[in-house]
Amino acid sequence: MGNSNQASWTFLILALALAGCGTPPKEASTAPIPVKETPTLAPKPEDRASDLLKDAASKPSMPLEGEGWQSLFDGQSLKGWRETAFAGRGQVECRFGLLLFNMGDPFTGLNFTNEVPELNYEVTLDAMRVSGSDFFCGLTVPVRESFCSLIVGGWGGSLVGISSLNGMDASENETTKYVSFEQGRWYRIRLRVTEERIEAWIDKEKLINVVTTRKRISLRPGEIELSKPFGIASWQTTAALRDIKLRRVDGPADPPPKEE
């Protein structure tokens, strides 16, 4: 009996050993568990535009020269303005104290709803191209019984000129100039209309000084005619505007251009 029990215990011990029950546990690995990194998402275009506008709104405007300026934009609303009824127009917003013309197909713009003079006045505003590659300011104004537009950044992004003189638009008359405009940068635009002259400046540089005597002044045919008598528009471009002001003047700012 004793030999039988001993044999049974011996068999059990051998079976357990073969099953690995007697094997000591392995030590836990001390190697760090790899952490899967979350990919960084690129900012959305609307977020980049919002950041650009916030930064732009914080930058001070250039001081205005002269007196008698009347503000046409209160920085908070479209009071005194209405959206121009362009087909395919983008939304007009007031954001961060700025006017924002969202990109249209092709135009976005506003008309001033109050009376403006037909001669002997000056308009100034700050304008910026936020996105797009064409004009970020098409300023349409009266000239006596007619109208014209100052185009800033047109025809692919760099053209400045008056549309139209003797039926020739800003790309083909004596006011045509080319300027390299930076995206996201404010430009001070100033336009002066007097009895026999149209003058215009970008920042402090005078680019247009044209005698209008015996010239036929008109708008380029098309939807821009909806901007009259006084309006601002952009073409396939998102634009920001601020500090729109107007004053009456007595005459040209500078002597007439020399005849070539």
Contact status, residue 177 vs residue 219, Cβ threshold 8 Å = no
pLDDT of residue 124: 98
Mean local confidence (pLDDT), 115-126: 98
pLDDT, one tens digit per residue, over 54-81 is 999 999 999 998 999 999 999 999 999 9
Q: Is residue 167 part of a domain?
A: yes
The domain of 203 spans: 71-246
Instruction: Find the range with the poorest average confidence among 3-7, 73-77, 82-86.
Output: 3-7
List the beta bridge partners of residue 177: 160
Q: How does residue 43 score in pLDDT terms, banded at 50, 70 and 90?
A: low
Q: Is residue 256 part of a domain?
A: no
Q: Is residue 1 part of a domain?
A: no
Residue 59 backbone phi and psi in degrees, to 5: -85, 130
Mean local confidence (pLDDT), 210-220: 96
Count, residues in the chain: 260
Q: Is residue 41 part of a domain?
A: no
Give the three-state DSSP class for 163: strand
What the block records as the tokens of 47 is 């977020």
Q: How does residue 10 score in pLDDT terms, banded at 50, 70 and 90?
A: low
Residue 255 backbone phi and psi in degrees, to 5: -60, 160
d(CA 175, CA 197): 12
d(CA 199, CA 175): 10
| pLDDT above 80 (res 228) | yes
Give the three-state DSSP class for 47: helix
pLDDT of residue 22: 46
| pLDDT above 90 (res 15) | no
| pLDDT above 80 (res 259) | no
Q: Is residue 51 part of a domain?
A: no
pLDDT of residue 56: 95
| pLDDT above 80 (res 151) | yes
Query: What domain count does the chain have?
Result: 1
Mean local confidence (pLDDT), 188-214: 97
CATH no. for residue 208? 2.60.120.560
- Cα–Cα distances in Å, from 222 out to 49, 87, 148, 164, 225? 30, 11, 13, 12, 6
Mean local confidence (pLDDT), 230-242: 98
pLDDT of residue 206: 97
Q: Is residue 217 part of a domain?
A: yes
Contact status, residue 214 vs residue 87, Cβ threshold 8 Å = no
What the block records as the tokens of 195 is 């009895």
pLDDT, one tens digit per residue, over 102-111 is 999 999 999 9
Q: Catalogue the E-assigned strands of 56-186.
A: 70-71, 81-83, 92-95, 98-101, 107-112, 121-132, 137-143, 146-154, 159-163, 177-178
pLDDT of residue 13: 46
| pLDDT above 90 (res 44) | no
Q: Is residue 135 part of a domain?
A: yes
Q: How does residue 256 score in pLDDT terms, banded at 50, 70 and 90?
A: confident
Contact status, residue 237 vs residue 134, Cβ threshold 8 Å = yes
Contact status, residue 12 vs residue 21, Cβ threshold 8 Å = no
